[in-house]
Amino acid sequence: MHTARLSQDVINQAVMHLLAYREATDPERYRATVIAQWCGSHPDNQRAWQRVDDINARLQPLRGQPVTALAQSLDAPGVSRRDLLRGGGALVLVAAVGSLAVHQRPWQRWQADARTGSAETVSLRLYNGTEVLLNARTTVRQEVYQGRLRLWLLEGEVLLTSHRFAARDGNMMPLEVITREGIITPIGTRFSVQQQAGQTRVAVHEGEVKVGGAPVAFHLLAGEAAVLQADGYRLEPVVAGEDAWRHGLIVANRMPLGQFVARLNHYHAGLIQCTAAVAALEVSGTYPLDRLDEVLAALQATLPLDVKRIGRVWIRLSPRTANA
C-alpha cells in the first residue's frame, strides 16, 4: 500500500516539537501531553514524529562531535541521506547543536535566521504557519522555548498574519514576538511590530494581540497601536496606510518631512537628509518606494525645498533659495 508523502510543514512542526521536548523542564510530561496531543490530531503528525524521533535517536552518539563527523554519518548504515536532508538539514542541527541555541542569551550577536537590506522585503512562513513579511533593513531570529515559537525582532519591522491559536489544535505552536521592550502574543490577527531606538511600536490591523513585558500586560484590538518603552507605554491609533510598505508604497497624510525622509531612507542605499528648517513641512500623498527620483521630484514640486545630490549616495533637502 502506497503511503502519502509527508508535507514540509508537518516535518518542520515535528522538528520544532523535538527541540521543545529536548529543552523542556519536564521532557516526559511534554511528550505525554503536548506531543501526544499533536500526534493524535492527525495521522501525518504521528508519522512525522516517529520519523524525526527515530532519526534523532540514531544520531544521539554523534552529539558533540565535529561537523566532519556529522557529515560522515550521512553514509552510515541505517541512516538515510534523504531523511537527514529532508527539512533543510534541520535534523542534523537537532542532533549537533539543537540544545545550544535555547541556552544562549537572546541579544548575543549570533547569525540571524533572516535579514533584509535596503530596498528589500522578504516573505517568510514560520513553522507554525504564521506568515511574516520583513520590511527593509530588518533582522529576525526564531527559536523554540518551552513549547512556544519565539520570533526575536532584533531590528527593523515585521508584518505578521497569524491564525487564531487554540489549545486543542495540536497543529499550531503558540507564537511570541519578542523585542527589547516587550513580548507580543497574537490572537488570530494581522499586526506589525517595529523595533525603534529605545522603543517598540505595535500596531494591530486585524484581530487582537496581547502585549506583555511592560509594567502591566494589556490587549490591543484592530485599529489600536502602542509604543512600548522601558518605563511604560502609551496608546495611539493605527495610522491609515502605515502598512502600505508591503505593497511598495509610502502613504502620507500630513506627515512631517523628517519622518517621511526617515522612512524613505530604509529603501535607499545611500543617505537622505533634511535640514531642521524643512523637517516640519507636511507631506501628503502616495509615493512608490522603488522610484526615488520621482518621489524627490514630487517633493520639490509641492514643497518649498531644494533637492541637492552630493556625490552618488548623499541627498540633502533644504529650504528653497530665492533664485531657484
User: Angle, nearest 10°, between helix axes 292-302 and 257-265?
Assistant: 170
Q: pLDDT: is 65 or 191 the higher one?
A: 191
**Under 8 Å between Cβ of 228 and 213:** yes
pLDDT in tens, 14-54: 776 776 676 566 778 878 888 888 899 888 889 888 887 77
Q: Strand 224-229 vs strand 232-237: parallel, antiparallel, or unpaired?
A: antiparallel
Alpha-carbon distance 195 to 95, whole Å? 33
List all residues 6 or more positions away from 61 whose beta carbon is below 8 Å from its beta carbon: none
> Of all helices (H) and strands (E), which one includes residue 19?
helix 8-23
Alpha-carbon distance 85 to 80, whole Å? 9
**Under 8 Å between Cβ of 219 and 240:** no
Q: pLDDT: is 315 or 231 the higher one?
A: 315
pLDDT in tens, 139-149: 998 887 777 88
Q: Residue 324 pLDDT > 90, yes or no?
A: no
- Quick one: CA dihedral 16, 246, 208, 219, positive or negative? positive
Place of cell 552529539: 63
CATH 3.40.50.720 fits 248-319, yes or no: no
Percentage of the chain with pLDDT > 90?
A: 32
pLDDT value, residue 81 = 38
- CA nearest neighbour of 237 among 223, 256, 219, 220: 223
The pLDDT confidence band at residue 162, using thresholds 50, 70 and 90, is: confident
Place of cell 523535538: 18
Cell of 204: 494591530
- CA nearest neighbour of 182 among 230, 134, 147: 230
Burial class (CB in 10 A: 0-12, 13-18, 19+), 5: exposed
- CA nearest neighbour of 227 among 251, 256, 197: 197
φ and ψ at residue 68, rounded to 5 degrees:
-60, -35
Q: pLDDT: is 69 or 247 the higher one?
A: 247
The mean pLDDT of 206-232, rounded to a whole number, is 88
List all residues 6 or more positions away from 131 whose beta carbon is below 8 Å from its beta carbon: 123, 124, 125, 160, 161, 162
Spans of all domains in the chain = 8-101, 114-237, 248-319
Cell of 193: 511590530
pLDDT in tens, 73-127: 333 444 443 443 333 333 333 333 232 222 333 333 334 578 888 888 888 888 7
- Looking at CATH, the fold of the domain delimited by 114-237 is given as Jelly Rolls (2.60.120)
The pLDDT confidence band at residue 197, using thresholds 50, 70 and 90, is: confident
Strand partners, 255: 283
Alpha-carbon distance 188 to 287, whole Å? 31
Cell of 136: 527593509
**Under 8 Å between Cβ of 191 and 160:** yes
pLDDT value, residue 246 = 87
pLDDT value, residue 313 = 82
**Under 8 Å between Cβ of 220 and 238:** no
Percentage of the chain with pLDDT > 70?
A: 73
